[in-house]
């Protein structure tokens, strides 16, 4: 087993990532660094804009180990912001603009960042914070007056590069501190493992506050390759994303596991530029077909180990009883699987996975006790540390690692790491709730969803809608339970611990309704209920219920849009569902599109259309009650 950890390899630690990008801008100033729609930034433009931001940040005292918050949606401006913070010598703290204001407030205060970089549409969320704000669009003219020369900073590779906030078991997110040295090891391994050159075209699809964003950017921009950013709808719609990857001649892409599983099942042209599809952040359960014209690479690693700790090619198998392995340790990383006495287990025996090596984070920001708990002294070498992942695994005979689940109750859902304790803490603050428990269930194959089991205060009445709306003030969308199951008491074992195996499956009798069920009033609404309810795992669906508040997400939304488009013969996009998330609103959008289509047809063509399709699947100008 120790031979499998022979991963030592020298890597450059004298120059930080932003300095390598500056060298690249000097060498190939006109090469395209970033693409987004019709916009491009050359290496010269990217470097100069980041330099101007860096000079402005330094006027506020930003230097080594200074945390700078960045709240910008996926865009060219986001990349400029990230790079500018590094060039100033600071460490970026990415905040997802879609997070609830209460959560953004907590992370900004916990980080104690003296400066926030954002855009004007995010300003209302931060109006009450005593923090210097640089607004990339509003302050564009002021930034343009700054020097375009590379700024001088005293930052070294031992200083922080970024702090990423992840879900916390104590009820609040926690910040993981990653140094430049950690990041350089990831970049070095990546560039060699996938033979990256300046001719490569990569992608940036991860959410802004997801640690994979840095993995998608820095290995390529530090070597002169280009990075393309798809729009939001393309990013989450498998067929659109497939077509975009082909059209843009992308050579390497990272996709979160659920999206990767969807896209590898699609048809692909026999020849295309794509060489590697990298995936990770959740348990991969699907093997690629032998006809897939690119390599599928499974990657594993918590944020605390700088994105990736193990990596391996997923073979094409027609049938397999076990999910694909996690691969082998990457460069300068070692993996040990230990029992409860911190002794190594033999091949094939389950244990807890621990990670050591060059990617290991400094620790948690302002959380010394938690850092000491999770980053332990190695029982084999007192001079080194190991990160206690909480993941159960076993060695396979070939040195790869099989993932077996969690030693605790942490949940991985659609690429997000969720500590259910954070959701429980928010639930238990609700006046109507006496006790609660949150788990992930997969009652529908391939559709894992959060289910909250709650015990109500005697006499209390509450709806799922009111609970979810209250939770939404402090939790991001991906942490909102899809279902709330009401129980008289949580089942317990003789030792007093909760008996999770005894938790009942959600059904019509125990599941809280969203409220009074609004019935469909038109054939269109009735048909949409038939389409959407099964996909959401519901027997009934009110026409005024919000798709996303019921546990819906972008990947599921893409499926709904495909079915709705086929049913009503109209052109809809995922954006339509975001703007019209209830059946009532979506129905109105569909009817408007169909009526506009009918206005272009002759009376004979309308009659032919009505004759060819069932009445309930074609809209007429008349509103018919159900």
| Per-residue pLDDT tens over the stretch 316-342 | 986 677 889 999 999 999 999 999 999
DSSP string, 565-592: HHHHT----HHHHHH--SHHHHHHHHHH
Burial (CB count within 10 angstroms: exposed 0-12, middle 13-18, buried 19+), residue 442 = exposed
Structure-block tokens of residue 163: 């702090």
Say what the pTM is: 0.82
φ/ψ of 514, rounded to 5, equals -70, -20
Decide which of 436 and 544 is more confident.
436
In this prediction, residue 608 has a pLDDT band, given cuts at 50, 70 and 90, of: low
Q: How many CA atoms lie within 13 A of 483 on its CB side?
A: 26
Q: What is the pLDDT of residue 358?
A: 97
User: What's the whole-number mean pLDDT along residues 68-89?
Assistant: 97
More confident residue, 556 or 8: 8
Identify the pLDDT of residue 603.
66
Q: Which residue is it, tokens 């944020």?
A: 303
* Secondary structure element (H or E) that encloses residue 316, with its range: none
Beta strands in 457-602 (DSSP E): 483-486
- When pLDDT is averaged across residues 194-203 and rounded to a whole number, the result is 98
Q: Distance between CA atoms of 246 and 459, rounded to whole angstroms?
A: 58
Provide, rounded to the nearest whole percent, the portion of the chain with pLDDT above 90.
61
pLDDT in tens, 559-602: 888 888 888 888 888 878 878 888 888 888 888 887 776 667 66
Give 133's strand partners.
116
Give the number of C-alpha atoms closer than 13 A to the C-alpha of residue 606, restricted to the C-beta side. Answer: 13
User: Among 104-108, 368-372, 542-546, where is mean pLDDT lowest?
Assistant: 542-546
Model pLDDT, residue 604: 65
| Confidence label for 392 from pLDDT (cuts 50, 70 and 90) | very high
Decide: 488 and 455 in contact? Cβ < 8 Å: yes
CA distance 87 to 58: 10
Contact 247, 274 (CB under 8 A): no
Residue 149 has pLDDT above 80, yes or no: yes
Half-sphere exposure of 274 (CA within 13 A, CB side): 26
Report the half-sphere exposure of 180 (CA within 13 A, side-chain side).
Answer: 24
CA distance 325 to 16: 33
Rounded Cα–Cα distance for residues 103 and 119 (Å): 18
Instruction: Find the radius of gyration of the CA atoms of the chain.
Output: 26
Q: What is the pLDDT of residue 606?
A: 56
Instruction: Kindly report the average pLDDT of the chain as a whole number.
Output: 89
What is the pLDDT at residue 602?
A: 66
Nearest Cα to Cα of residue 274 among 265, 284, 264: 264
Q: Report the chain's terminal Cα–Cα distance, integer Å.
A: 67
Confidence at residue 601, expressed as pLDDT on a 0 to 100 scale: 62
Bridging pattern class, strands 252-256 and 226-228: unpaired
Residue 92 has pLDDT above 60, yes or no: yes
| Measured distance CA(292)–CA(265) in Å, rounded | 9
3-state DSSP assignment of residue 145: coil
Read off the tokens for 474: 């402090």
CA distance linking residue 427 with residue 411, whole number of Å? 17
What's the mean pLDDT in 150-158? 96
Per-residue confidence (pLDDT) for residue 445, from 0 to 100: 64
Which of 188 and 557 is assigned the larger pLDDT?
188
């Amino acid at each position: 087993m120790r031979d499998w950890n022979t991963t030592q390899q020298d890597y450059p630690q004298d120059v930080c990532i932003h300095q390598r990008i500056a060298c690249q801008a000097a060498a190939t100033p006109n090469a395209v660094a970033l693409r987004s729609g019709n916009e491009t930034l050359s290496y010269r433009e990217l470097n100069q804009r980041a330099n101007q931001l860096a000079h402005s940040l330094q006027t506020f005292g930003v230097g080594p180990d200074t945390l700078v918050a960045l709240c910008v949606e996926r865009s060219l401006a986001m990349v400029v912001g990230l790079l500018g913070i590094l060039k100033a010598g600071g460490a970026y703290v990415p905040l997802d603009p879609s997070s609830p204001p209460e959560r953004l407030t907590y992370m900004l205060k916990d980080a104690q960042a003296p400066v926030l970089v954002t855009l004007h549409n995010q300003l209302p969320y931060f109006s009450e914070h005593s923090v210097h704000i640089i607004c990339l669009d509003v302050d564009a003219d002021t930034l343009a007056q700054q020097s375009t020369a590379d700024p001088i900073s005293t930052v070294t590779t031992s200083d922080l590069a970024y702090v990423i906030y992840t879900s916390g078991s104590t009820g609040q997110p926690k910040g993981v501190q990653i140094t430049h040295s950690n990041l350089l090891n990831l970049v070095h391994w990546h560039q060699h493992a996938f033979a990256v050159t300046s001719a490569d075209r990569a992608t940036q699809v991860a959410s802004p506050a997801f640690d994979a964003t840095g993995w998608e950017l820095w290995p390529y921009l530090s070597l002169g390759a280009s990075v393309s950013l798809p729009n939001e709808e393309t990013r989450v719609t498998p067929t659109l994303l497939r077509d975009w990857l082909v059209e843009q001649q992308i050579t390497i892409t990272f996709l979160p596991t659920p999206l990767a599983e969807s896209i590898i099942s699609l048809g692909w042209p026999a020849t295309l530029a794509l060489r590697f599809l990298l995936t990770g952040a959740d348990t991969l359960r699907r093997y690629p077909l032998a006809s897939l014209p690119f390599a599928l690479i499974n990657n594993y690693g918590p944020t605390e180990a700088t994105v990736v700790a193990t990596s391996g090619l997923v073979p094409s198998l027609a049938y397999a009883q076990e999910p694909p392995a996690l691969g082998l340790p990457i460069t300068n990383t070692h993996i040990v699987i230990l029992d409860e006495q911190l002794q190594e287990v033999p091949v094939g025996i389950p244990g807890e996975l621990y990670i050591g090596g060059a990617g290991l984070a400094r620790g948690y920001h302002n959380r010394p006790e938690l850092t000491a708990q999770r980053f332990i002294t190695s029982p084999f070498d007192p001079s080194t540390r190991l990160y206690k992942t909480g993941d159960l695994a076993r060695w396979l005979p070939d040195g790869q690692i099989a993932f077996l689940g969690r030693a605790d109750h942490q949940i991985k859902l659609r690429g997000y790491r969720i500590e259910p304790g954070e959701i429980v803490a928010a639930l238990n603050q609700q006046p109507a709730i006496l006790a609660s428990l949150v788990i992930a269930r997969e009652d529908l194959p391939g559709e894992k969803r959060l289910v909250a089991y709650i015990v109500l205060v005697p006499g209390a009445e509450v709806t799922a809608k009111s609970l979810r709306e209250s939770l939404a003030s402090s939790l991001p969308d991906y942490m909102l339970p899809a279902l709330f199951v009401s129980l008289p008491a949580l089942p317990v074992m003789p030792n007093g611990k909760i008996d999770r195996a005894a938790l009942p499956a959600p059904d019509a009798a125990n599941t809280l309704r969203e409220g009074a069920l609004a019935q469909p009033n038109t054939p269109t609404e009735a048909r949409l209920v038939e389409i959407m309810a099964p996909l959401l795992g519901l027997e009934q669906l009110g026409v005024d219920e919000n798709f996303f508040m019921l546990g819906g997400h972008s990947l599921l939304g893409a499926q709904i849009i495909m079915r709705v488009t086929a049913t009503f013969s109209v052109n809809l996009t995922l954006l339509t569902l975001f703007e019209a998330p209830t059946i009532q609103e979506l129905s109105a959008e569909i009817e408007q599109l169909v009526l506009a289509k009918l206005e272009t047809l002759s009376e004979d063509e309308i009659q032919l259309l009505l004759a060819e399709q069932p009445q309930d699947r074609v809209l007429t100008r008349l509103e018919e009650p159900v």
